[in-house]
Structure 1
Amino acid sequence: MRLTGLIAIGAIGLVTGCDQLAPFATPPTDAPPPQARPAPVELSAESQKIAAYYKRVEQRQRALDLLRSDGGGPDTPFDNRRLARTFEAVAFSREFSDAGGALVRRRDESILHRWSDPVRIETTFGAAVSDGQRADDMAAVDRLARRLAGATGHPISTVQRGGNFHVLIVTEDQRRGIGPTLKRMLPEIRQREIDVIESLGLSTYCVVVASAPNDDGILTRAVAVIRAELPPLLRLSCIHEEIAQGLGLSNDSPDARPSIFNDDDEFGRLTTMDEFMLGMLYDPKLTPGMDADAARPIVQDMARALTARAF
């Protein structure tokens, strides 16, 4: 299953997993200095087994015509009402909530979250990730950043250092000890979030955590962790969903179609509906911190205008 939510953590049986935890608040800190690239190392035997497992998962998904990349078509029509409902479902709720100090999978209402500062995406790889995979993934993140900037109208770019949205593509061995790296990039992260990320089961493919330091809906930092053992299509699906979720579309909905924000993994890349929702999220008529009730009439007007122009 693929779970999503602002600062949430997601997993999905034998399909792409994506989630988040729930925005936490503490003062921002300066970006950490860049680290030198580690010397290449061999993929461990365990990572090789995990990679073989995920290869079978991707083959199964493709045999079922999942992980589509067409963005939707005649078989996936949607109107303004569906667009508005879907936006409200993914932007104003989260998959995980706090219950007595523990993270539980329970859908909870949330305020609108988005970035105010320019988003600078910095991608870092584990030592065992091959040069070829690094080049492919860097190119994928760069293409996605340009697409997201166009969809949102917000400054979004890739950088080699000084990022405020970190994408970590790491193997099993490195992820199990990733706590210090997460703490350096997100000083406000809690130990329970670190524990979840370090102990992911195979059903969880990727995770994103985003920070709203003042608890006002304004995101300032994010970290996405993606399994390097994933084959190309599953890895690209994680890149698309986790970065988009880290921008503020924090949940999944079973009614989201055509959309990557759906646990069914029908789509493996952002769709036309997803781009509409990202544009709505960053429309100046909405503001960070709004709740669903206050935003609903504005969202409905935007959905009518978007679908009228497109269809």
Structure 2
Amino acid sequence: MTEPETSLKPQSRPAEVTAAKPAASAPSAASDSLRRYYAKIQSDLLAQGLLRVDGGGVDTPYSARDLANNFERIVFYDEYARGGGLRNSNGAKASLRRWPGPVRIGVEFGDSVPASLRTSDTATVRGYTARLARLTGHSISFVGVGEATNANFNVLVMGEDDHDQIVRRVREIMPDISATSLGIFQRLPRAIHCLVVAFSRDDGASGYGQAIALVRAEHPDLVRKSCYHEEMAQGLGLANDSPRARPSIFNDDDEFALLTSHDELLLKMLYDPRLRPGMSADTARPIFTKMATELLGGES
């Protein structure tokens, strides 16, 4: 999920990294209940042959025309109404959004998150950040763990027992956040597995300047990793989902858990210098159609 919103420049923070705090106590009954709930969801999806990790194959062909159509639907439309919390978008077209400046990704763990998960997931976020940088050719870097980093893309890995910590950190990162946007983090339904909220720069331009992703710590390993893959990519500007996108994680059918070959091309196209933040779909269409043909060949 991505909900762009214009806001003031976020507070800066020093670049040093602080040590993660140890988990304070045993999980609550509410957290345990969520853990069992999400474990069953993962088990059921795997039993149906979903949550694939192969990136797509001969059974998921796509053409240059498919790629261009999917790019338009995913980049130039919103999944949720801007400033409307979890209210679905009305389907109106949006302008192209991406990060004009460097993206500095930092990860933070809730006090309830065990050390073993912190270690494994830090490695996951660090490695995926490097992959996103290679794919986009953009300045995307991992800047550390904890609150005291200079991150402008904050990945919060927190559980039900970290509710107050989540709200505090969101307020600290975005002091001017709207009540509607803050309410997403305060009252997150369990049907929302993870999310990212991306904010426009303070100059009112169409480029992003800050993003906050929230990944539930109660998820089993594969679902949690799938959250990193989808939300971090969506926070770069692939803001929508489409039922026609395949093979793709930007599709609510859960067929794929991790970024696919198709999705890698979407990221390459999004950060191609021939496109610019603020472009309309009509203006950009001849450009991204040509890109798709260049990448895949054949009919565009």
TM-score by length of 1: 0.88
**Residue in 1 that maps onto 2:12:** 30
Asked whether the 8 Å contact 1:122–1:167 carries over to 2, the reply is yes
**Residue in 2 that maps onto 1:83:** 67
> CA distance change for structure 1 residues 243 and 218 in 2, over 3 Å: closer, same or farther?
same
Unaligned runs of 5+ in 2: none
* Alignment coverage as a number of residue pairs: 290
Aligned counterparts of 1:175 and 1:308: Cα–Cα separation in 2: 49
Aligned: 1:293 with 2:288: no
Q: Deviations over 1:106-128 (max 9, x none)?
A: 23321111112221110010111
Match of 1:184 among 147, 172, 178: 172
* Aligned-partner residue type, residue 127 of structure 1: D
SS in 2 for 1:211: strand
Match of 2:206 among 211, 214, 217: 217
**Residue in 1 that maps onto 2:132:** 148
Map of 1:240-255 to 2, 5 A cutoff? 240-255=229-244
* Aligned-partner residue type, residue 4 of structure 2: A
> CA distance change for structure 1 residues 238 and 184 in 2, over 3 Å: closer, same or farther?
same
**Residue in 2 that maps onto 1:3:** none
**Residue in 2 that maps onto 1:194:** 182
* Aligned-partner residue type, residue 195 of structure 1: G
SS in 1 for 2:50: coil
Aligned counterparts of 2:120 and 2:92: Cα–Cα separation in 1: 36
Asked whether the 8 Å contact 2:105–2:141 carries over to 1, the reply is yes
SS in 1 for 2:39: helix
Asked whether the 8 Å contact 1:31–1:162 carries over to 2, the reply is yes
* Aligned-partner residue type, residue 75 of structure 1: D
Q: Deviations over 1:87-143 (max 9, x none)?
A: 0001001022258x7762123321111112221110010111111111111111111
Q: Which moved more, 1:31-40 or 1:212-221?
A: 31-40
Q: Deviations over 1:281-301 (max 9, x none)?
A: 000000001010000000100
Match of 1:40 among 13, 23, 26: 23
> CA distance change for structure 1 residues 147 and 58 in 2, over 3 Å: closer, same or farther?
same
Instruction: Please report the RMSD computed on the Cα atoms of aligned residues, expressed in angstroms.
Output: 1.8
Q: Deviations over 1:163-191 (max 9, x none)?
A: 11110000112135522211211233211
Structure 1 residue 31 displacement after superposition:
3.0
Structure 1 residue 305 displacement after superposition:
0.2
Aligned counterparts of 2:169 and 2:184: Cα–Cα separation in 1: 14
**Residue in 1 that maps onto 2:143:** 159
Unaligned runs of 5+ in 1: 1-18
Aligned: 1:305 with 2:294: yes
Q: Deviations over 1:62-109 (max 9, x none)?
A: 00111111111000000000000000001001022258x776212332
Aligned: 1:52 with 2:36: yes
> CA distance change for structure 1 residues 177 and 162 in 2, over 3 Å: closer, same or farther?
closer
Match of 1:119 among 103, 114, 126: 103
> CA distance change for structure 1 residues 143 and 206 in 2, over 3 Å: closer, same or farther?
same
Aligned counterparts of 2:150 and 2:264: Cα–Cα separation in 1: 27
**Residue in 2 that maps onto 1:7:** none
